[in-house]
Amino acid sequence: MLQLSYIRENRDAVIERLAVKNFKDVALVDAVIQLDDSRRKIQNESDTIAAEANAAAKQIGDLMRQGKKEEAEAVKSKSSGYKEQVKELTEELSAIEQELNEKIVQLPNLPHASVPTGVSAEDNEVVLEYGSVPALPEGALPHWELLNKYDIVDLELGVKVTGAGFPVYKGKGARLQRALINFFLDQAAEAGYNEVQVPVVVNEASAFATGQLPDKEGQMYHVTGDDLYLIPTAEVPVTNLYRDVIVKEEQFPIKHSAYTPCFRREAGSYGAHVRGLNRLHQFDKVETVQIVHPDKSYEVLEEMSQYIQGLLQKLELPYRVLRLCGGDMSFTSALTYDMEVFSAAQERWLEVSSASNFETYQSNRLKVRFKNAEGKMQLAHTLNGSALALPRIVASILENNQTEKGIRIPAVLVPYTGFEWID
């Protein structure tokens, strides 16, 4: 959530930056400012009346102690309306604050100055490419055919048990999943991330605090009987560990990793680009989250990008890094890097990770603060990065490493899988 003070003091700059995200509702920005003006005016009026009421109460007490009962009664009569006035103003203030909150949460985060303009993924900026596209043997197969050939993932059995988008991993497929999860968690630990196990359902307050609500209601599974939400990413529960917490500046950077299953209702359209493991309703992911000093957040974002790239290099996967344009960024992000792996059999790039800096957008909702060097309360910055999401990593490993002998397992995973080949 944007900070009211910043919107008030930088109206034109806010409108200009929001336009990079193709958000052009200037009237909403002005409505927020006008509502805040009304809120301030009513609050001042209420404070003034409350002060007058307190002064009158003190005066009445003094007069009564002096035996001046008639004068005390006169002051009491004159001030009798104060209580009702304060009550009316409090009710009016509550209504305005509710409307203000409803409107300000409709404003997306401001994009960083380096974010390119654009309306879709086609306008994203390629920052770098790494690795070579492997030469596959004649008759190479896309991963959804490899799943059946080697009997390692059963998509139809998942349909039987639950529905489309809920695969069943079997044998070496299940062991490859577990190997990747353990590998990613071990790598995160070596990089200084403190592993946590968190709930995979969250309450409405948690979903609001990280920006999933009210922006992404349709993408989350809602447990209506308990008013809980299945998490779309571990970012939600991990970041909420610090909701309403005042951290100490010396704790920065706060670094956590977590493995969770993730759930997303909107799995996309039909066609080859969503076949197999390309897009699922349930998938596994290891997430990294950092809460940092505002002066360090963009340095940390670059470090997180490098860390994720290091994982892809160890898995021997060709990849590229994109800086997302304004039109392709999330509602809450100030700057996002996407990492895409090249799938040789599908002959296209597959997104496998995003690393984002939210600046104070989440922390303002979370109320995660610290005392700065001057002793003043200040909002921290929050960041997260997928390190990594498994489905497309598995798809790329299967496709890019297929040979006439079978599918070669990347050397770094062999100690985790216990086998070198899927054959």
Which segments are annotated as binding site?
233, 264-266, 287, 351-354, 384
Q: Which helix (H) or strand (E) holds 353?
A: strand 348-357
Q: Is the dihedral of CA 79, 83, 88, 89 positive or negative?
A: positive
What does the DSSP assignment read for 90-135?
Answer: HHHHHHHHHHHHHHHTTSPPPPPTTPPP-SSGGGPEEEEEES----
Q: How far apart are CA 159 and CA 197, in angstroms?
A: 28
- Residue recorded with tokens 């509710």: 98
Closest CA to 402 of 179, 149, 130: 149
Residue 307: CB atoms within 10 Å: 18
Cα(96)–Cα(245) distance, integer angstroms = 27
Contact of 264 with 279, CB cutoff 8 Å: no
Residue 75 and residue 170: Cα distance in Å, rounded? 83
- Burial of residue 98 (CB within 10 Å: 0-12, 13-18, 19+) is exposed
Binding-site members for ATP are 264-266, 351-354
Complete DSSP assignment for 266-312: -----SGGGSTTSS-SEEEEEEEEEEE-GGGHHHHHHHHHHHHHHHH
> Binding-site residues for L-serine, please?
233, 264, 287, 384
Contact 214, 335 (CB under 8 A): no
The DSSP output letter for 418 is S
d(CA 153, CA 37): 59
